[in-house]
Amino acid sequence: MGYEWRNLVADHTVWLVIAVFALTIGYAVLNGATLARQQQRGAQRFLRAQEAKTSQFQERAGVMENYLNSAHALADLPRYERYEYDFGPLDPRYASAANPLSAVLPPPPLAPLTMGVSDLYPVAHTVSWWDTEMVSAAEQTESPLKLLAGNFDLAFVMLYLLPLFILALCFNLFASEKEGGTLSLLLSQPINLYMLLAGKIMARALLILLPAFTFIMAGSLLSGLDLGNSEVRVRLLGWIFVIALYGAFWFGLAVAVNGIGKSAASNAMILIVCWLALLVLVPTAANLLATTLYAVPSRAEFISASREIPIAVKEIDDTRLREQFFKDHPEFPAGGAYSDWGRMAIVNVAKQEEVAQRFWETRQRFDEQLSKQQALVSACGLLSPAILAQAALYDIAGAGTARYRHYLSQADAYNREWKAHFWPTMFTGKKFSPADYDRIPRFRGEEERLIDVARRAAAPMLALLAMASLIVTLGIRAYRRYPIAG
């Protein structure tokens, strides 16, 4: 290993590879940290704007309440101001409809390392008593082509460029020495072929993986990752472990190809073909197969169905909707003390509940097909280490679809909490007060438990470990018939 290390250090090409590797990692971390900060600032700006609007409503409600508590009469006010007293900040319907708050998803825990698919989904779920809406809390508009291509982040470097750097150093383990006649001379020393192979691989692994892990740690510190947080540290260690497994596969593949006994040029060509097949052709074929077998209905059909649902609900009799609402919500008895406006609000709420239910049923057909597509692509991961490594890296970083589904479940719970807070006052006609604005529920999102993340990431990690072990075993066995002479 020491002999091989001296040879590598003396080769200027190796230092060029290391320098390019360091630059790509540095740029990827810088780019990832910039994207994470942009998303974080956008979310904070969005929340601050909402809280400022709530404060304005609360201040206006205080002014109006003070006026009502004085000896002034509403009849003395202009008509538009009297209307504001009836349907303004003191009205819970107006307070909810005109001042909705949002459930905002923060950036992934390891956002500077990878944004994953988190930039493809809306990061805010705005709720009110009559509707819900998904919006972009970052207040940013990205090019669709940019979103389709993805970001140049550290996950991209590790998935696509790390194998190239490994292959650049490992395509010529024995070929040149065999052709030059020096391999026989080396093996005349008290060393066998397997010891020589181990020394060459260990030296190259140290030269590639040690700088990679060093640059990752340095980039994590410079990008602002909170390494004082135990959860972030565990996620980062898991991330590094996945990269080590992924690198082991490519080192094993290089060992196996070199064991065939071809020339250095042939080894390089075979390894490049393997890189293209495993990182480009197999994932592309998996996606094509998934979209063909489980085609998602057209977007136009989905939009058309979404537009037809409210029209169909409007034709339903109000009495039937009201009865269905009381049946679904026994906490509100049919004979309760509701105001006239409250009874109208019940009908409106019942309509929105029916629209939401039908919309959910329509969307289920799309979600089921997408779930089948994702399951098929995951199954195809056994044919490509890149698919396995990407799934594990995204999951551990909190940049995959699982974390987003976890966020949506919390956003739905927040929506129910919001409605439970406003409905009683709306239905009874009770006025809002400035103090009631402080009691409006705020979203308190929680990250997934690490044990849940570990369970999901364990499957691709074990598959990646098995794949790396298999290719290393096959590679070592290939050297039983390795031709020593050129």
Please count the CA atoms within 13 angstroms of the CA of 160 that sit on its side-chain side.
Answer: 13
The torsion angles phi and psi of 126, rounded to 5 degrees, stand at -85, 130
Beta strands across the sheet bearing 101-104? 101-104, 124-127, 132-135
CA distances from 214 to 41, 390, 411, 428 (A): 29, 21, 38, 63
What angle in degrees, to the nearest 10, is found between the helix axes of 12-69 and 79-87?
Answer: 120
**CB contact at 8 A, 137 and 46:** yes
CA 251 to CA 200: how far, in whole Å?
A: 11
Strands 132-135 and 124-127: antiparallel
Q: How far is Cα of residue 219 from the mean position of the Cα atoms in its chain? A: 20
pTM of the model: 0.82
Only one residue has tokens 């927040």, namely: 414
Residue 174 per-residue DSSP state: S
**CB contact at 8 A, 112 and 139:** no
**CB contact at 8 A, 472 and 430:** no
Instruction: Tell me which residue of 388, 378, 399, 389 sits closest to 447, measured CA to CA.
Output: 399
Burial profile 157-185: b = 16 or more Cβ within 10 angstroms, e = fewer: bbbebbbbbbbbbbbbbbbebbeeeebee
Q: Which two tokens stand for residue 308?
A: 């037809």
In tens digits, what is the pLDDT along the chain, a chain of 486 residues?
788 888 888 878 888 888 888 888 888 888 888 888 887 887 788 788 888 888 888 888 888 888 777 756 666 666 666 666 666 788 887 777 766 777 888 888 888 888 777 666 777 777 766 554 444 444 444 544 454 456 788 889 999 999 999 998 888 888 777 877 777 777 777 888 888 888 889 988 888 888 888 888 887 887 778 888 888 899 999 999 999 999 999 999 999 998 887 888 899 999 999 999 999 999 888 888 888 888 766 666 666 776 788 788 888 888 888 888 888 888 888 888 888 778 888 888 888 888 878 877 777 777 787 788 878 888 888 888 999 999 999 999 988 888 888 888 888 888 888 888 888 888 887 888 888 888 888 888 888 889 999 999 999 999 999 999 999 888 888 888 777 765
What DSSP line would sit under 51-105, residue for residue? Answer: HHHHHHHHHHHHHHHHHHHTT--GGGS-HHHHHHHHHSTTSHHHHHHSS-EEEEP
